[in-house]
Amino acid sequence: MKKLNIILTLIFFSFIGFAQKPMTLKDCMEFASNNSAQILVEKELCYQKKIDRRDAILNVFTPQINAYAGLALTNGRTTDPETNMYTDLKMFQDEYQISASMPIFNGFEAVNNMKISKIALESGKNSLQVKTDEICLEIMQYFYNYLYFLKMTKVFFDEKQEALSALQQTEKEFLLGNKSRVQVLEKQSFLSEAEYSLADYEAKCNAALSALKKAMMFPSNEVLEIDTTINFQPVLTDDFENATELATLAKESNSQVLVFQNSLKIKELEFKTAKWQFLPRIDLNAGWYSSHSKISGVNYQAQPFKDQIKNNGREYISISLNVPIFNRLQKFSNFSRKKSDFKIASYEFQEKQTEIENAVLEAFDEVLSARKKLLAAQKNADFQKEYYEIAAKKFQAGMIPYLEFNTAANKYAEAQAMYFNALFVSKIKTAVIEYYKGVSYLEQIEN
């Protein structure tokens, strides 16, 4: 028993440790994908389309079969089942029937519906992928936004520590008579500004984390720990394809385009089905019927149930032809609507292709611009860091006034902010380009 308690305790604490494991960007994306109401709705719609696919296949290859059983008790003037003459009888009668029907020709409606169900199922998968990619991109933006404010919080935390250390050193020098009161006040002012900036970015960091939790559908009463050990170094390569070639690839294979393309195919099949509905409909019918009767109040020996079922049984098979003559122009109206729907779907498909093509070209320009800005921001951050370190040494030695040092510190902080912002924007824009190449956002992220 003692060993069992130890094992259970270890399992419990290992589970707690796993639950508290910091989440990477991919973890956040997967959590959102598994908990987003929008994605769960798309999954249910895909499930419904699978049911439609099954029904469409069964409708083509299997007949509709019905069974019927009826019981009747009659008392009064009726037909004697033995003599077929009217008489007063009290009779109990039960009847049984099995029937089957199957369309031989119905304007290719069943066949086209089977094709439509296949396309609709594929379209449902594409819609699910589109929604998943949208959610993942949103999570990526919130995740990097949180990391940005987290890095800036670290910047001002370090600045605050430096300001505090400088103030403490200056106060000691002041007590020894080596520093003036003005120099102490300058250090105090610098510390106050650093504390304010730190508090401001801590608030922004908390707000960014809350926004990430909300986008992930993460429980608000639980603590979300983020794994910040990502590569903060820029990946600058020039392996992009030609923008026009990438746009051509995207408008043919992107999931968003495929949704509209499948919609166009469905509308085309519905339009063709509507055209064939003006032709006659041919159905094949078959069945079996029998009955059993029992008369009360007269002296005669009724035939056994088995014999009556056998003797009264009859089978039938028939072919019916249904010719549409006039149905208040319903078929013609349906044909006109389906034709119009097909045209609308064609226009929407062309519009989506153009939209994706322009989006790719725009994303291509944005990623190149983002990388140029990142290189410039990196150079500026390195320059401002060197300038700040020199200014800090001069300020400590009393060689420059507080205003000049404060300006150098602010420019260095701004340079770091510009660099981190450019870095994360570059990462997002690069991910968008990879997405248009056909690589989903989840596939791009390594654990």
pLDDT digits (tens, 9 = 90+) for 117-135: 999 999 999 999 999 999 9
Q: 243-253 and 330-396 are packed helices; what angle lies between their axes, rounded to 10 degrees?
A: 140
CB 348 within 8 A of CB 259: no
End-to-end, the C-alpha distance of the chain in Å comes to: 40
pLDDT digits (tens, 9 = 90+) for 40-97: 999 999 999 999 999 999 988 999 999 999 998 877 777 766 566 777 767 788 999 9
Q: Does residue 236 surpass a pLDDT of 70?
A: no
Rounded Cα distance between 76 and 79, Å, is: 10
Between 56 and 19, whose confidence is greater?
56
Q: Does residue 447 surpass a pLDDT of 60?
A: no
Residues in the chain: 447
The per-residue b/e assignment along 160-179, b for 16 or more CB within 10 angstroms, e otherwise, is: beebeebbeebeebbeeeeb
Q: Does residue 231 surpass a pLDDT of 80?
A: no
Q: For the chain, where do the domains classified as CATH 1.20.1600.10 start and end? A: 22-62+106-280+329-444
Which residues, 6 or more positions from 434, have their beta carbon under 8 angstroms from its beta carbon?
444
Helix (H) or strand (E) holding 446: none
Long-range contacts of 401-410 (CB under 8 A, 24+ apart): 401/186, 402/186, 402/189, 402/190, 405/190, 406/189, 406/190, 406/193, 408/384, 409/159, 409/190
Confidence of residue 148 (pLDDT cuts 50, 70, 90): very high
Rounded Cα distance between 166 and 146, Å, is: 30
DSSP 1: -
Between 201 and 186, whose confidence is greater?
201
DSSP 280: -
CATH annotation of 22-62+106-280+329-444: 1.20.1600.10
Q: Which is nearest to 121 in space by CA: 44, 19, 60, 52?
A: 52
Q: Is 38 exposed, middle or buried (0-12, 13-18, 19+ CB in 10 A)?
A: middle
- At 33 the pLDDT is 93
Which residues, 6 or more positions from 308, have their beta carbon under 8 angstroms from its beta carbon?
290, 291, 292, 293, 302
β-pair partners for 101: 64, 285
Confidence of residue 307 (pLDDT cuts 50, 70, 90): confident
Rounded Cα distance between 66 and 102, Å, is: 12
Confidence of residue 17 (pLDDT cuts 50, 70, 90): very low
Residues 374, 141, 25, 153: what is their CA dihedral angle, to the nearest 10 degrees? 70
Q: What is the pTM of this model?
A: 0.80
Residue with tokens 């596939």: 443
- At 405 the pLDDT is 83
Confidence of residue 233 (pLDDT cuts 50, 70, 90): low
Q: Does residue 5 surpass a pLDDT of 70?
A: no
CB 340 within 8 A of CB 275: no
Tell me the Cα Rg of the chain: 39
Residue 79 vs residues 50, 75, 91, 307: alpha-carbon distances, Å: 53, 11, 10, 20
Which residues, 6 or more positions from 41, have their beta carbon under 8 angstroms from its beta carbon?
none
Query: Over pLDDT 70: what percentage of the chain?
Result: 90
Q: How many helices (H) and strands (E) does the chain have?
A: 11, 4
- List, edge to edge, every strand of the sheet that includes 64-79: 64-79, 86-105, 281-296, 314-322
- % helix, strand, coil for the chain, step of 5: 70, 15, 20
β-pair partners for 209: none
Residue with tokens 């007063």: 88
pLDDT digits (tens, 9 = 90+) for 252-278: 899 999 999 999 999 999 999 999 888
Between 446 and 169, whose confidence is greater?
169
- At 403 the pLDDT is 80
* Residue 250, SS3 per DSSP: helix
Q: Does residue 13 surpass a pLDDT of 50?
A: no
Q: Does residue 285 surpass a pLDDT of 70?
A: yes
